[in-house]
């Protein structure tokens, strides 16, 4: 038998794992039409004024500007459909191979793909909350208000601004979901990282938690990460192509 390829090794590690966890970043959703806004190509976060709007101070100072920019971006999120990589993780969970997905993404594509246990460490666009009375609003309601010219959208109950349930730049990750994610990482025997550059803290430290508890590590990302030298498998290639090949070795197709 010839030498085991990296794809074959990734498939074997997934088959052998009994407590596997996935950690996903923006790269898993780019082929769904949602740009990685940190990349030089999209440039969104390279604009200091736009970047400021997505901080807690920027939102408090100019919620209208936040929603004006958000209204331009919303169609990307609302029209996106789960990629084969999202579906792959959902199938692994259904088969009992994957315990949970920890995601930095706010797009909800993991849930739409069928994943049941998703820890959204940066929050979600699906819902918002009034900054006054905390009344919950669904994304569809917020969009309806904006389409009607109400920017920023206001709470029907107290007329305060509605804020999406996302973690803005400079804000801490909610302790509940963060601790839950760390607990999963302490008990996993394999961490599969897909589409994350692992530069945003504290998520960037999560692979270290898994490694300190003797987990194996697979990194699937188009660019290098700081953990490449510590990983069992590093795949710097198209996520969709890699997943297509890995799932053939795992046998996760339905």
Give the whole-angstrom CA distance, residue 106 versus residue 80.
12
Question: Does the active-site annotation cover 187?
Answer: no
Give the tokens for residue 100: 């949970």
Q: Virtual CA dihedral for 82, 196, 163, 77, nearest 10 degrees?
A: -30
Catalytic residue of the set 86, 122, 157, 187:
122
127: left (phi over 0), alpha (psi -120 to 50) or beta: beta
Task: Show which residues are catalytic.
Answer: 122
């Amino acid at each position: 038998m010839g030498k085991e390829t990296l794809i074959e090794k990734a498939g074997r590690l997934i088959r052998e794992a009994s407590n596997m966890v996935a950690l996903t970043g923006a790269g898993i959703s780019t082929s769904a039409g949602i740009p990685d806004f940190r990349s030089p190509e999209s440039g969104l976060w390279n604009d200091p004024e736009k970047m400021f709007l997505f901080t807690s101070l920027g939102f408090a100072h100019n919620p209208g500007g936040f929603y004006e920019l958000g209204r331009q971006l919303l169609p990307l999120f609302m029209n996106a459909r789960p990629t084969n990589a999202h579906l792959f993780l959902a199938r692994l969970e259904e088969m009992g191979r994957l315990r949970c997905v920890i995601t930095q993404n706010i797009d909800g594509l993991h849930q739409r793909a069928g994943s049941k246990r998703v820890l959204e460490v940066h929050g979600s666009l699906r819902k918002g909350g009034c900054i006054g009375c905390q009344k919950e609003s669904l994304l569809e309601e917020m969009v309806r208000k904006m389409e009607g010219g109400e920017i920023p959208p206001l709470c029907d109950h107290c007329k305060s601004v509605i804020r999406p349930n996302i973690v803005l730049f400079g804000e801490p990750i909610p302790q509940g979901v963060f601790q839950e994610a760390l607990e999963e990482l302490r008990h996993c025997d394999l961490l599969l990282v897909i589409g994350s550059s692992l530069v945003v803290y504290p998520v960037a430290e999560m692979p270290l938690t898994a490694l300190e508890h003797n987990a194996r590590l697979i990194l699937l990302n188009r660019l290098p990460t700081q953990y490449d030298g510590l990983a069992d498998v590093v795949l710097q290639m198209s996520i969709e192509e890699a997943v297509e090949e890995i799932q053939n070795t795992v046998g996760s197709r339905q």
